Amino acid sequence: MRTATTAGPVNGGVAGANLGALRSHNTALVLGLLRDAGAEGISRLELAERTGLTPQAVSKITARLRAQGLAAEAGRRASTGGKPRTVLRLVPEAGHAVGVHLDRDELRVVLVDLDGAVVGERRGELDLGAGAEAVLGAVCGAVRGVVGELGADADAGVGTGTGAGAGAGAGIGTGGTGAGGGLAAVGSLLGVGVALPGPLDHVRGVLHRVTGFPEWDGFPLRDALAERLGVPVVVDKDTNAAALGLAVGGEEGAAGRSFAYLHLGTGLGAGLVIDGSVHRGARTGAGEFGHQVIQLDGPVCECGNRGCVEVLCLAAVARGEVAEAARVLGVAAGNLVGLLDIDVVLLGGRTVAGAPQTYVSGVGEVLGVRARREGTGGDAVPVRVAPRGERIVAEGAAQLLLAPLFGRGED
């Protein structure tokens, strides 16, 4: 929960909650349920049941949301013997966010609405080693491109007031440098989320290292982009962004409150969602799954250790032994499942995409053996291929801006 009007606590302790925080919390909760309901919509009374709030409180909150243009009435349900329930739904066009997936050799930029639906996209090749100026230029260009598609149509965005407690910081650096000026003029644009590989500081938005590209060490990516674009920017690891995207858009939704997203591509990493929130750790270092040691004194990994999953798994892939790669991945996934008692394992990445069924059944087999030995009550943890394929990272990056509005995915 966030304090709205008052400054937060000094010492990183748990924050006290005032009335502003209370409203923010409940508003975000309702907004989240509206989003989860999708086009089908949800009635006020159902919102009351789900939140535990009284129907009257929900009425007040939704009235505020309708006045702000974030929600609208959308038909009514069948009657059950009395006045039929009025269905409410989110107004997707009331807000937008940009998601940027910055990969080693590729750039993908998506524009999503409040619903999380992709309404614009740009793709292109990119050389992360071409220098900061070139990369930033390419990113800014692509972002301006997708946002431009919104056009004057977007000015019907979020109405008066300060949105739903997310802090109205859209005016940052309107007089920024670079060609094209700020994007703050587009009222419904909440900001830009950037996802990229390698360790970084999510809170400060500073890169630590990008494996293979030492020139990025310590680069303050968030501030650099925020200044050029004139809108808020959030930076995160690609696996965390993907996990966030899956946590939000999940058909798993209510079922899988805790899951791990395992990404097997040129490397092996994980994004963890625990109790509905992305777990990053104090230094944004969580999810280092690939360098988990599962073979003492095994083959040397580039990280310096021996017997990391990544080196074992990728070596098996290189030898063409996909089933063995899946088994190795399954053992590491089993360790993770046992440690955290998560609900679902989702697999993604280019390598998995090459033989999805093999990986799903291979990992599932290992987890199944694990569950059987636990005995009563221990159904096997399900393994699935992560939906929405390659675009999930960019979509999740956009959710870095949207999630705070809906009260999930972030603390």
Partner DNA sequence: CCACTTTGGCAACAGTGTTGCGGAAGTGCA
Partner DNA sequence: TGCACTTCCGCAACACTGTTGCCAAAGTGG
Query: Which residues touch 124 (CB under 8 Å, ≥6 apart)?
Result: 106, 107, 138, 142
Which residue's CB is nearer to a copy of itself, number 37 or number 140? Answer: 37
Q: Does 1 bind a copy of itself (CB under 8 A)?
A: yes
Q: Beta-carbon neighbour count of residue 295 at 10 Å?
A: 14
Angle between helices 322-340 and 356-374 (to 10 degrees): 40
Q: Report how far residue 48's alpha carbon sits from residue 11's, in angstroms, rounded to the nearest whole number.
A: 35
- Rounded least distance, CB 5 to DNA, Å: 6
Which residue's CB is nearer to DNA, number 6 or number 174? Answer: 6
Please, are residues 34 and 406 in contact by the beta-carbon 8 Å criterion? no
CB-neighbour burial class of residue 23 (10 A; exposed 0-12, middle 13-18, buried 19+): middle
Q: Does 287 bind a copy of itself (CB under 8 A)?
A: yes
Backbone angles phi, psi at 294, to 5 degrees: -125, 10
Q: Report how far residue 14's alpha carbon sits from residue 319's, in angstroms, rounded to the nearest whole number.
A: 51
Closest CA to 389 of 249, 286, 180: 249
Q: Beta-carbon neighbour count of residue 372 at 10 Å?
A: 11
The separation between CA 253 and the C-alpha centre of its own chain, rounded to angstroms, equals 13
Q: Report how far residue 290's alpha carbon sits from residue 101's, in angstroms, rounded to the nearest whole number.
A: 20
- Rounded least distance, CB 122 to a copy of itself, Å: 33
Q: Does 86 bind DNA (CB under 7 A)?
A: yes
Instruction: Select the span of 82-90, 269-277, 318-326, 398-406 touching DNA (CB under 7 A).
Output: 82-90
Q: Does 79 bind DNA (CB under 7 A)?
A: yes
- What HEC string does 191-256 produce? EEEEEECCCEECCCCEECCCCCCHHHCCCCHHHHHHHHHCCCEEEEEHHHHHHHHHHHHCCCCCCC
**49 contact, one of a copy of itself, DNA, none, CB 5-8 Å limit per kind:** a copy of itself
Which residue's CB is nearer to a copy of itself, number 100 or number 345? Answer: 345
Q: Does 382 bind DNA (CB under 7 A)?
A: no
Q: Report how far residue 356's alpha carbon sits from residue 362's, in angstroms, rounded to the nearest whole number.
A: 10
Tokens, residue 362: 């291979």
**183 contact, one of DNA, a copy of itself, none, CB 5-8 Å limit per kind:** none
- Rounded least distance, CB 260 to DNA, Å: 34
- Rounded least distance, CB 160 to DNA, Å: 14
Query: Restricting to residues 17-76, which ones interact with DNA according to CB under 7 A?
Result: 17-19, 22-23, 26, 43-45, 53-57, 59-63, 76
Q: Does 410 bind a copy of itself (CB under 8 A)?
A: no
Backbone angles phi, psi at 380, to 5 degrees: -65, 145
Which residue's CB is nearer to a copy of itself, number 52 or number 82? Answer: 52
Query: Restricting to residues 291-330, which ones interact with a copy of itself according to CB under 8 A?
Result: 291-296, 298, 303-305, 307, 312, 328
Q: Does 40 bind a copy of itself (CB under 8 A)?
A: no
The radius of gyration computed from the CA coordinates of the chain, to the nearest angstrom, equals 22
Choose which of 11, 83, 160, 376 interacts with DNA (CB under 7 A).
83
**338 contact, one of a copy of itself, DNA, none, CB 5-8 Å limit per kind:** a copy of itself
Q: Beta-carbon neighbour count of residue 44 at 10 Å?
A: 20
Q: Residue count of the chain, please give it.
A: 411
- Rounded least distance, CB 164 to DNA, Å: 11
Please, are residues 362 and 278 in contact by the beta-carbon 8 Å criterion? no
Give the count of residues interacting with DNA (CB under 7 A). 30
Tokens, residue 25: 């919390």
**118 contact, one of DNA, a copy of itself, none, CB 5-8 Å limit per kind:** none
Q: Does 279 bind a copy of itself (CB under 8 A)?
A: yes
- Rounded least distance, CB 355 to a copy of itself, Å: 21
Amino acid at 389: G
Query: Restricting to residues 257-276, which ones interact with a copy of itself according to CB under 8 A?
Result: 257-258, 270, 272, 274-276
**5 contact, one of a copy of itself, DNA, none, CB 5-8 Å limit per kind:** DNA
Give the count of residues interacting with a copy of itself (CB under 8 A). 88
Which residue's CB is nearer to DNA, number 43 or number 399? Answer: 43
- Rounded least distance, CB 215 to a copy of itself, Å: 14
Residues near DNA (CB under 7 A) are 5-6, 17-19, 22-23, 26, 43-45, 53-57, 59-63, 76, 79-86
